[in-house]
């Protein structure tokens, strides 16, 4: 008899978190790395996916052991300064990331249909996402994300297979880690970009929607995450292979997506160009849907914890004013950022914003998940601690480089 854990029906929340993480910032980080260093650093996509898996698995163990989301754990069990820091950070991160996603969807749609401007397309996608979130529930989001994830992977695999000429070089880039001169920043950016940042916290709310609430649900959640991050790593590898033949200077301008698409067009014809542009649009719009649906959970849960102080976990009400109000905060005010007329700059800021959160998440998972009195038998083992410690070091270095870059 087959193991009931390894069934397709147990794949869902992980695909939502993966599709949400494969947004404009992640796609650009992998594209720039591929254009700059070819296939020599493909291994970093695998390492990034492994690190994000370790952090999300730790988050899941916390929730299944305690019954509380990680955010609820911060509020209830840690010094107040931590949750208040995160609340302020969430407000700023949301504004920057929402602006980046509005710009990213605008760039993608404008590349396909240039009759409308980047700004108009971005506004249309933001409002469409609001409508889909308000009229649908989690089941609709999961089904949409499965479709978009399948479309993205199909596009990337087809395009990568058609341009992959140096198979030995690809295998070497995957299996033999190397650090070419000048590649450290790109390596860290890809590791930080692959698989999302603050959006990792949304996984806890999405498994609640699936009613995975007991320690016995950990195996199916792990299976869900293994599939999701395997596909995430595959996506990052494919994007770097596709971008390997692109002039790195093209990757810094507003025509980034068109630069990669035109490269594919010159190598494999118009099919490759339009195929990539459709995949690019799918990546950024799916990320917008995930952020628009998932991030308001965090705000509403925070308000619930400080306003009502429930003595036991209470699911977030998607009809609450806090949830719907934050959805509108994501969808409308960041449209003002389009006025600066630098959409690619916004997308790059998306990736940078996540750098200020990941070290904190890794550190808190190391502290909280090693408490046997909180997690019991689900506390960290040596492998989880090693993975989280490595994540803390890498993301701490990413934070340092981002601060140094912004200060310079």
- Contact at 8 Å (CB) between 21 and 232? yes
Residue with more model confidence, 270 or 355 = 270
Of 72, 167, 133, 157, the C-alpha closest to 285 is 133
User: Average pLDDT in the 351-359 region?
Assistant: 72
Query: 245-293, pLDDT tens digit by residue?
Result: 777 666 655 566 777 888 888 888 888 889 888 988 998 999 999 999 9
Q: How far is CA 74 from CA 62, 201, 295, 302, 355, in A?
A: 11, 12, 17, 10, 20
Query: 131-150, pLDDT tens digit by residue?
Result: 999 998 899 999 999 999 89
- Interatomic CA distance for residues 76 and 68, integer angstroms: 9
Any idea which of 3-7, 119-123, 126-130, 284-288 has the lowest mean pLDDT? 3-7
341: left (phi over 0), alpha (psi -120 to 50) or beta: left
Is the pLDDT reported for residue 37 higher than 80?
yes
CATH 1.20.1740.10 fits 8-407, yes or no: yes
The reported pTM is 0.91
- Interatomic CA distance for residues 82 and 58, integer angstroms: 18
For 243, residues 6+ apart whose C-beta sits below 8 A from its C-beta are 30, 31, 32, 33, 34, 35, 251, 260, 263
Q: How far is CA 194 from CA 170, 190, 204, 234, 351, in A?
A: 19, 6, 19, 11, 10
pLDDT band at 384 (very low <50, low <70, confident <90, very high): very high
Any idea which of 218-222, 269-273, 325-329 has the lowest mean pLDDT? 269-273
- Interatomic CA distance for residues 9 and 367, integer angstroms: 33
Burial environment of residue 255 by CB neighbours within 10 A (0 to 12, 13 to 18, 19 or more): middle
């Amino acid at each position: 008899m087959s193991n009931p854990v390894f069934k397709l029906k147990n794949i869902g929340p992980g695909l939502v978190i993966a599709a949400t993480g494969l947004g404009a910032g992640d796609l650009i980080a992998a594209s720039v790395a591929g254009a700059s260093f070819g296939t020599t650093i493909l291994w970093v996509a695998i390492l990034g996916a492994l690190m994000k898996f370790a952090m999300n698995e730790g988050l899941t163990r916390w929730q299944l052991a305690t019954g509380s989301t990680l955010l609820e754990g911060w509020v209830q069990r840690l010094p107040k300064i931590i949750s208040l820091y995160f609340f302020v950070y969430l407000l700023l991160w949301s504004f920057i990331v929402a602006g980046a996603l509005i710009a990213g969807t605008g760039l993608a749609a404008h590349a396909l249909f240039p009759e409308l401007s980047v700004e108009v397309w971005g506004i249309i996608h933001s409002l469409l996402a609001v409508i889909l979130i308000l009229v649908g529930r989690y089941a609709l989001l999961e089904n949409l994300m499965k479709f978009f994830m399948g479309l993205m992977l199909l596009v990337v695999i087809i395009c990568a297979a058609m341009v992959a000429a140096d198979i030995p070089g690809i295998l070497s880039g995957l299996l033999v880690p190397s650090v070419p001169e000048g590649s450290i920043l790109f390596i860290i950016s890809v590791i930080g970009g692959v698989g999302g940042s603050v959006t990792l916290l949304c996984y806890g709310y999405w498994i609640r929607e699936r009613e995975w609430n007991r320690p016995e649900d950990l195996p199916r959640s792990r299976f869900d995450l293994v599939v999701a991050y395997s596909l995430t790593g595959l996506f990052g590898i494919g994007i770097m292979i596709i971008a390997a033949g692109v002039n790195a200077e093209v990757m810094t301008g507003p025509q980034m997506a068109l630069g990669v698409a035109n490269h594919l067009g010159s190598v494999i014809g118009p099919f490759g160009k339009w195929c990539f542009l459709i995949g690019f649009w799918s990546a950024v719009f799916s990320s917008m849907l995930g952020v628009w649906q998932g991030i308001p959970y965090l705000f509403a849960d925070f308000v619930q914890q400080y306003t009502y102080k429930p003595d036991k976990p209470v699911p977030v009400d998607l009809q609450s004013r806090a949830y719907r109000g934050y959805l509108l905060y994501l969808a409308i005010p960041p449209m003002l950022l389009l006025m600066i007329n630098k959409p690619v700059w916004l997308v790059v800021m998306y990736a940078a914003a996540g750098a200020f959160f990941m070290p904190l998440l890794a550190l808190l998972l190391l502290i909280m998940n090693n408490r046997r009195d909180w997690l019991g038998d689900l506390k960290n083992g040596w492998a989880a601690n090693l993975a989280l410690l490595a994540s803390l070091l890498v993301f701490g270095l990413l934070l340092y480089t981002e601060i140094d870059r912004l200060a310079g």
